[in-house]
Amino acid sequence: MMAAEPLPLPLPMEARLVAELPPPPGWQYEPKWDGFRAIVGRDGESADIRSKSGKSLARFFPEIVEALLATKESRFVLDGELILPLGGALSFDALQQRLHPAESRILRLSRETPAQLMLFDCLAIGDEDMTNAPLRERRAALERFHKKNGSAMLLLSPATDQAEEATAWLERSGGALDGIIAKQTDLPYRSGERAMMKLKNYRSADCVVGGFRRTADQKGAASLLLGLYDKAGALNHVGFTSSFKTGERPRLLALLEPITGTPGFTGKTPGGPSRWNRGEGNAWEPLRPELVVEVVYDQVTGGRFRHGTRFLRWRPDKAPQQCSCDQLQMELRPAELGQLLEA
């Protein structure tokens, strides 16, 4: 059963990046889930799912719409995150595949690989608008809602007032959580504002420089193309780093030109237009696998860095052959998810 007319759902409250969590008291800490942010609502026989931008996602996740319409509560607005377990891990890539124009494909995927909704805030129950209520009251209402309506599709995100427990979640998840969110317990829900704090869970990896792209004027290196070796010994392209100052780019090019040449990447290659170059098919040049860099990344999807990485340092002490895919921390696994929810 699909949603009818979209409900008037607010834009989500957002977070600003911080270097460390604010200390207690007065704060609630929650895991930062790696999925699609979603404001959901039901009004009788109508239900909807809205993205961070305010667009409806209901047609892409019919199984979540059905779960919302199956609740005992007939009128509510909740804040949460769409997640999708697939192949032993939570897969952001599988979520992206749902954003497809073909309804038949969406319906098939919703049956074969159903998504879940991780709930972490309550904005309205019945006729009561709770956006002006403090977080402590909204959280209590959310827990009552979940106790009455929770299911395998509608999950309750853990929360704590202890910063130490929050940081322990990162350890128990194998480092695969996206980070920690901190919210003031006396704060009302501020739609569209960056009123929360976000501690991102950054990690580092040693990568082979398998190629590069030049700047538009051809006088410098615009980005380094990164590779990791798989078990078969092939060097696969996994992402890029371009965090260099303008004055460093000519010197970087001078370092790379003497080792320009094959083999470059021997497995997956950068190709042309991609998620990394914003659809621009600018040419790249292969390098002999001699240079190793350490980069900082946030998430891995499909064996690749989802976003651009930050250059940390050169690693002349490390052999290129030591840079393998098994050093990457992948998506959160369902068993690890269960440990967090049971904690």
Cβ–Cβ < 8 Å for 227, 212? no
Q: Which residues of the chain are in CATH 3.30.470.30 domains? A: 14-201
What was the pLDDT predicted at 234?
95
> What DSSP letter does each residue of 51-111 carry, written as one string?
-TTS-B-GGG-HHHHHHHHTSS--EEEEEEEEE-EETTEE-HHHHHHT--S-HHHHHHHHH
pLDDT band at 333 (very low <50, low <70, confident <90, very high): low
Terminal-to-terminal C-alpha distance of the chain: 34
Please, which residues bridge with residue 56 across strands?
A: 50
Q: Which residues of the chain are in CATH 2.40.50.140 domains? A: 203-327
Mean pLDDT value of segment 133-157: 97
Residue 343: pLDDT over 60:
no
In the CATH hierarchy, which fold is given to the domain comprising 14-201?
A: D-amino Acid Aminotransferase; Chain A, domain 1 (3.30.470)
pTM, rounded to two decimals: 0.72
In the CATH hierarchy, which fold is given to the domain comprising 203-327?
A: OB fold (Dihydrolipoamide Acetyltransferase, E2P) (2.40.50)
What was the pLDDT predicted at 7?
57
Identify the residue with better confidence: 86 or 248: 248
Mean pLDDT value of segment 272-280: 44
Identify the residue with better confidence: 334 or 194: 194
Residue 52: pLDDT over 60:
yes
Q: What element of type H or E holds 168? A: helix 163-172
What was the pLDDT predicted at 329?
61
Residue 336: pLDDT over 80:
no
Nearest CA-CA partner of 204 in 320, 71, 296, 134: 296
* Identity of the residue numbered 86: L
pLDDT band at 278 (very low <50, low <70, confident <90, very high): very low
The active-site residue out of 32, 147, 183, 245 is 32
Please, which residues bridge with residue 184 across strands?
A: 27
Cβ–Cβ < 8 Å for 77, 9? yes
Identify the residue with better confidence: 8 or 158: 158
Is 32 catalytic? The answer is yes
Residue 64: pLDDT over 50:
yes
Residue 306: pLDDT over 80:
yes
